[in-house]
Structure 1
Amino acid sequence: MAEFETLSVRDVRKETPDAVSVAFDVPPELEDRFGFTPGQYLTLRATIAGEDVRRTYSICSGLDDGEIRVAVKRVEGGRFSGFVNEALKPGMTLDVMAPEGRFTCPATERAGHDYVAFAAGSGVTPVLSIVKTVLAREPDSRFTFFYGNRDTASIIFREALEDLKDRYLDRFTLIHVLSREGQDVDILHGRLSEEKVRAFAQAGLFDPATADRFFLCGPGDMIDTVETALAGLGVEARRIAVERFTPAGDAAPAAPSERAQEAAREGIEVEVVLDGATRRFELGEEDASIVDAGHRAGIEIPYSCKGGMCCTCRCKLVEGEVEMAANYALEPWELEAGFVLGCQSRPLTKKVVLDFDAA
């Protein structure tokens, strides 16, 4: 089961007026555990106003940066992002899980790939980690990055990206798309849209037929728009990696179905397998999910985003039926194999058995 380690904050750097990056000191005995693949994220935990609050933030450092750093953009009303931007200082500590995530790009020496990325806002964070590492470790690879923001002042890691562009003139193409600031070329003004993606392809800025891998990271509507455009250009789903950035932990979950509400009213027995031990608890009407019910019973079921975005709470449904309020993480084959997300699962039967140790 995923566990937290307490790490000291080495550095807090202001990146834009509403975003900071945070670097951690990792002691030698934890270096192997906190080794990461570009594109992965960290789950952070803090007690804020007496409440245990957890959020996931992508790693922005490359493998050769000599540090592990995440970016945190302030979200309106966001408890954790507000705390990090306003109160977190070097020398303070946070509970941190080891790196996780599937939005990755393991760099391969002597590879010659053509990568394309579309990101908006803080969606740049994992893309930056991937870009840094690929350009440094794959000398024959090319990377084209379309990055959407409101205006120049809101561009996170602007200097770092410009430095990469200057260093790798022949291999890194950076294209800024700004929604609230005019540019010399009309197509670069506005939001990333289907029309823009098609226009970029028609202009020869990327080749949908030959690009090896596409990385899409940002809000859900932007992801859907770009995915639709790429599909229309003949790009198969297997070539597209997606990471949705949504303040899910602060958003209200979808209402349970009538069947789930009826089952909860009657009382549900939940049995979970964690670290080889079987534990049982009851789920009632007050519980939004199996994870919430377990924590109310004092059982530390793993979770992080609580929004269906990550797989920290991935488990296998062994007995019974559940419905999921949302799922942005599990692949079709995992659903067919019986895997569910504990933070999104609501029982539909009087008893459910979930195995969190299942591979």
Structure 2
Amino acid sequence: MSTLSSVYKKIIIRDIISETQDVKTFKLGYADGSPLEYEAGQFITFVFPKHELAEERRSYSFSTAPKIDDVPAITLKRVTNGEYSRWFIDHAKPGDALLTIGTSGYFTLPDDLGKYKRLILLAAGSGITPIFSLLKRALQEYPSLQLVLIYSNRTAADTIFYNELIGLQQEYSERLTIEFLFSTSPNLLRARLNKGLLENLLKKYSHDDHAQSLFYLCGPYDYMRMATIVLQTEGVPPENIRRENFAIVKPVQKRFPPDQEQHAITLYMEGNRYTFEVQFPETILQQAKKNNIPIPYSCESGQCGTCAATCTKGHVWMWNNEVLTDSEIQKGRVLTCSGYPVGGDVVLEI
């Protein structure tokens, strides 16, 4: 077990619901009875001990929304070569215990959502999980907002939350429109989301008023890459596009900090003060781990945001950032997993 095990909390699986043939929802709660706090669109990271001083981490999105759903829950799809997704789907049972570092994630609704006219959500397969969470919160809390969900699957039977979504569409018929796309459809023009179809849907729902639309994307890498390119080509401001990556493929580091000297890090976290030295090629997170400093993390490649901190003094240079928006960076948010101190010493808060 990792020497950082004291920062983990125990989660209990309270109940399990079958959604489709290879998808299940798992209702969760802390073993000590304390509330499991999270925001719509966020995820929870589990720690799986492998052997002495070794562990693996996996993050799963909440499909529930706080104050709307009584019990927090995650929804998983079996992945063919996924060791832990197969355990959840094939072997997990109510009462099983898991270790977690808690909840995190930036795939959430902004505080200024009310200034937008519409929320356009794009999901493929199990990418609906955080999208469903966001959808429920937006419908409940923003009555003037128009919502569009573009959801791709193989068939209706393979569509996670199909009946629930139909129910929401009927309940909020004046505000919610859902475009179901099935790859088995005989109408090949609507079988899969492609460049031409997305362009047409964008004209239909965003009305060339893209600055007033906020887009959330979740699905396979190629799906989101295509959608992002189309949206930006059609004039959607980059800051209006939010993405959530499920299959993390660690990129190769091709950029290196302009300052590769050693600098001091002072870190304030949960009432504790830590000091350590960082020098390239070690990132802030890598050096913290070597010093047994329990910075939360998951992907270790600038793609999930679990390790984010606020820089209150100095400057942190990041070789990869697929999570933080420009406005968040302006507020001092940085990713410790891809970050290096440059130009002097740094003070961080988590």
* TM-score > 0.5, shorter chain as reference: yes
Letter in 1 for 2:338: Q
Residues 258 and 66 of structure 1: is their aligned pair in 2 closer, same or farther, counting only changes over 3 Å? closer
Residues 16 and 320 of structure 1: is their aligned pair in 2 closer, same or farther, counting only changes over 3 Å? same
Cα root mean square deviation, aligned: 3.8
Contact 1:209 1:234 in 2 (8 A): no
Shift of 1:295: 2.4
Match of 1:329 in 2: 323
Residues 281 and 109 of structure 1: is their aligned pair in 2 closer, same or farther, counting only changes over 3 Å? closer
Shift of 1:9: 0.9
Matched, 1:38 2:28: no
Shift of 1:198: 1.0
Percent identity of the aligned residues?
24
Query: Quick one: which of 7, 13, 19 aligns to 1:9?
Result: 13
Distance 1:233 1:48 in 2: 47
Query: Quick one: which of 75, 79, 82 aligns to 1:78?
Result: 82
Give the 3-state SS of the residue equivalent to 1:343 in structure 2: coil
Contact 1:107 1:138 in 2 (8 A): no
Shift of 1:280: 2.8
Match of 2:136 in 1: 132
Distance 1:281 1:178 in 2: 53
Residues 311 and 12 of structure 1: is their aligned pair in 2 closer, same or farther, counting only changes over 3 Å? same
Contact 2:12 2:31 in 1 (8 A): no
Match of 2:222 in 1: 221
Letter in 2 for 1:357: E
Query: Quick one: which of 140, 153, 158 aligns to 1:154?
Result: 158
Residues 336 and 105 of structure 1: is their aligned pair in 2 closer, same or farther, counting only changes over 3 Å? closer
Residues 183 and 171 of structure 1: is their aligned pair in 2 closer, same or farther, counting only changes over 3 Å? farther
Distance 2:175 2:34 in 1: 35
Letter in 1 for 2:200: A
Distance 1:320 1:107 in 2: 26
Residues 128 and 212 of structure 1: is their aligned pair in 2 closer, same or farther, counting only changes over 3 Å? same
Structure-to-structure mapping, 1:1-359, within 5 angstroms: 4-26=8-30, 30-31=34-35, 34-48=36-50, 51-62=54-65, 63-105=67-109, 113-179=117-183, 181-184=184-187, 186-190=188-192, 192-202=193-203, 204-209=204-209, 211-240=212-241, 242-248=242-248, 251-255=249-253, 271-275=265-269, 276-280=272-276, 289-315=283-309, 316=311, 324=319, 326-335=320-329, 339-345=333-339, 353-357=345-349
Instruction: List gaps (5 residues or longer) in structure 1.
Output: none
Shift of 1:71: 1.6
Contact 2:16 2:94 in 1 (8 A): yes
Residues 274 and 81 of structure 1: is their aligned pair in 2 closer, same or farther, counting only changes over 3 Å? farther
Residues 92 and 273 of structure 1: is their aligned pair in 2 closer, same or farther, counting only changes over 3 Å? same
Distance 2:342 2:112 in 1: 45
Distance 1:216 1:273 in 2: 33
TM-score by length of 1: 0.77
Letter in 2 for 1:54: R
Shift of 1:97: 4.2
Contact 1:111 1:138 in 2 (8 A): no
Per-residue CA deviations over 1:38-67 (Å, capped at 9, x if unaligned) read 222222223246642222222111332211
Give the 3-state SS of the residue equivalent to 2:349 in structure 1: coil
TM-score by length of 2: 0.79
Residues 301 and 46 of structure 1: is their aligned pair in 2 closer, same or farther, counting only changes over 3 Å? same
Contact 1:317 1:353 in 2 (8 A): no
Residues 189 and 327 of structure 1: is their aligned pair in 2 closer, same or farther, counting only changes over 3 Å? same
Contact 1:152 1:178 in 2 (8 A): yes
Letter in 1 for 2:337: C
Aligned residue pairs total: 338
Shift of 1:69: 0.7
Distance 1:278 1:109 in 2: 37
Distance 1:134 1:336 in 2: 26
Distance 2:141 2:331 in 1: 36
Residues 158 and 195 of structure 1: is their aligned pair in 2 closer, same or farther, counting only changes over 3 Å? same
Instruction: List gaps (5 residues or longer) in structure 2.
Output: 1-6
Residues 282 and 107 of structure 1: is their aligned pair in 2 closer, same or farther, counting only changes over 3 Å? closer
Shift of 1:118: 1.0
Shift of 1:128: 0.6
